Structure 1
Amino acid sequence: MTIFDERGSIDGKLTLAQVLESFSAGQLPLKFEAYDGSSAGPEDAPLGLNLLTPRGTTYLATAPGDLGLARAYVSGDLAMLGVHPGDPYELIKALGEKLAFKRPPVRVLANIVRSIGFEHLLPIAPPPQEALPKWRRMAEGLRHSRFRDAEAIRHHYDVSNTFYEWVLGPSMTYTCACYPRPDATLEEAQENKYRLVFDKLRLQPGDRLLDVGCGWGGMVRYAACHGVRATGVTLSAEQATWAQHAIAAAGLNELATVRHGDYRDVRERGFDAVSSIGLTEHIGIANYPAYFAFLRDRLRPGGLLLNHCITRPDNRSTPIGGFIDRYVFPDGELTGSGRIISAAQDARLEVLHEENLRRHYALTLRDWCANLVRNWDDAVAEVGLATAKVWGMYMAGSRLGFESNVVQLHQILAVKLDDHGADGGLPLRPWWTP
């Protein structure tokens, strides 16, 4: 079927289903239903979308792409058919792989505007889950100021510790795991990730570790359990409170602490190692020189830095996308591992090794979605249906991004040389591998 059949023509008003068909050249692999009674796509398709309200039309028309889709879905104006809201991976995958939108001819486009109504082209207030605080309207030069960073972190990480427990599981680790084998559990993979970081940093009992952007203190607790004196710092007050309770419950107060604050406020120096696991995405590409210089100055000569962060497959600076920026990671910025390595080298750190864990992050997100589905009712009761839907959509979409190499995850290991270029006697080959 196309919009030029017996159901209508470009001379008459189009149904919502015909509007969608006009943008997809009549090739709809999914089922589509709309509140005006129209439908399109295969009747027996297992996956689809149901546009429920006129407000949903406005969201889709005024913010095309993932942002408009997210607004309509989160607000309850658009339903995803055939998937659980805690893991809409299969539908998002089908949308990305099978649905190709094309701009219709001008005369068809004019009739589309007339058919849906000009009132639907006027932007309306987004759902309240969208991050649009005052600092978004501040001058671009204030991006990644301490206040603005704190606001962005609060939006994402101070959702609810209980909610994160439902999603992340007992480890309370919100970064890419490292799966020792395909059938490993999420907890095994997160434990293995901490082991990998610990081993790469050559930590020994009595050493001092600084973990910046420490989250709920997983790396801090792991290091302390192995006799290392570990200090963590996070901008999230809820994370810091949870982490300190976990440290006390494990009897690690003598070795471990987590502070609520900005990593830039850490004044101690001479650490044997610094780990940064999932922080670099938040600091801003323009701030890389200051960031790596600061971490270098926290290390003793011969000390090691492990930087673990999401990257792009190329070294261009690209936006993270409207949905992710507004609903998940405000002000997040991504670039390639090459640019990160260059920034570390320019800060007089010698880069020793890099490793891409892209496929491991896809598995991690798969398991987080499974946790959300398993604990869906509890999660919704804790944070509300709209927020829970944001997380299902975000994690399922991110899984697809890692699977399709839209994004990657790199660990970069570097050393602070002394004034004579010595590295403190490191082994000739990677010491964390057999």
Structure 2
Amino acid sequence: MRLAPASLRGRLLLGLGLGLSVLWLVLAVWLHHEVRDRVAAVLDQRLAASARMVASLVDAGAAVPAALAEGGRLPLRGIACEVSGLRGELLARSSGAPEGGLALDGDGFGQRHLDGELWRVFTVTQGDLRVASAERMAGRTGFMRQVALVLLAALSLGLLASLALVWWAVGRALGPLSSLRDQLAGRDAGDRRTVATPPGAVELEPMVATLNQVFGREREALDRERRLTDDLAHELRTPLAAIRTQLQVAQRTEGPRAEHARDAAQQAAERLGHSLDQLLALARERSAPADRVSLATVLDGVLEELAPSLRKRNLSVRREAVAGVPAASAGLVRIVLRNVLENAVRHSPEGGVITLAPLDDGRVGLCMDDQGPGLTPEQRRRALQRGWRGHGGGRGLGLAIVTTIMARTDGRVALGGAPDGGLRVRVSWPPADSA
């Protein structure tokens, strides 16, 4: 069961609210104890002052005890007073004073249970007389209860006001996040505008910089996909036109010329099918979860697929053991290896040798050498660019797909010269355990 709020505002309010509640509760307990002790001290001083006042009056003349006996007025309301001799005989007491004797055995403060009530008593001796003043503890308890209620109400209102201020302050502080959200909500796919850091939000600069980097990579990936789509569209149009032309030739002619036209149409259809397979494979790999397998397993599958082409051109493969699992899906690795090997098969002379060797740079990949015509340094530099026309007038779609996949999977592809004059292609990925 999830108890934490889903929003940042809610989390901040909950955390600050709990912290303030604990702080104010501790403050309320401390204030209650302080007020209780100080009020008790003031009330005790009041008791002592009343007793001493009565004692001074008694000392001034003999009429005061009679006045007390007749229920005369006290100096302060709510205080009972009693005057007795040193031997305990009652001389006078105020109205409301309990029966049974208020005076303590010695001077000072104390408590006594009289008439079923607890009294706070102060006793002072003045000559042959003992004066005691007292008040009910129930009155003090009720007063402190009222003080506690006032404190609780004040602190509760203060806590609510603090939470309201926190809610308002958090909303103001999160304003830059709302501004950033509005910027992101108004962006379209491929938008080249950079995200601006909202004013007054220096702390968001690292996140905004990261977002701009992510959007930049997405724009580059989208541009690559668009260029690849354009190349695929061109490649699909070319074999379709060739098929249409060769079928028309086959319909209008007979004999070897018609047979040649049908063969050319079949080759164009195979080329078209291969391009469609490449496109569908890329689409599947974009949406399917990545399944990572060893490079040797993928290479075995690709060589098995190309076995008929190798036999047809009497090509042999000299292969050294490759190891490791690349940090890319098996489907994308397969497309890369197949395109590279198909390119080598297409340009290798009959009876030639294709060499496959592992890399020793800490990455997972292989180095492939063929014995074809190779490429000049300028051609190798341009071969990985879009729209480059290679041998025979092709547009290098295979290498374009390889470049796209490598950019997507953090892979590397490099072209060089083979020792026998052919083309050397190096493809590699980070190890899967480092991703």
In the superposition, the TM-score normalised over structure 1's length comes to 0.24
Higher helix fraction (1 or 2): 2
Q: How high is the TM-score relative to the length of structure 2?
A: 0.24
Structure having greater relative contact order (Cα 8 Å, sep ≥ 6)? 1
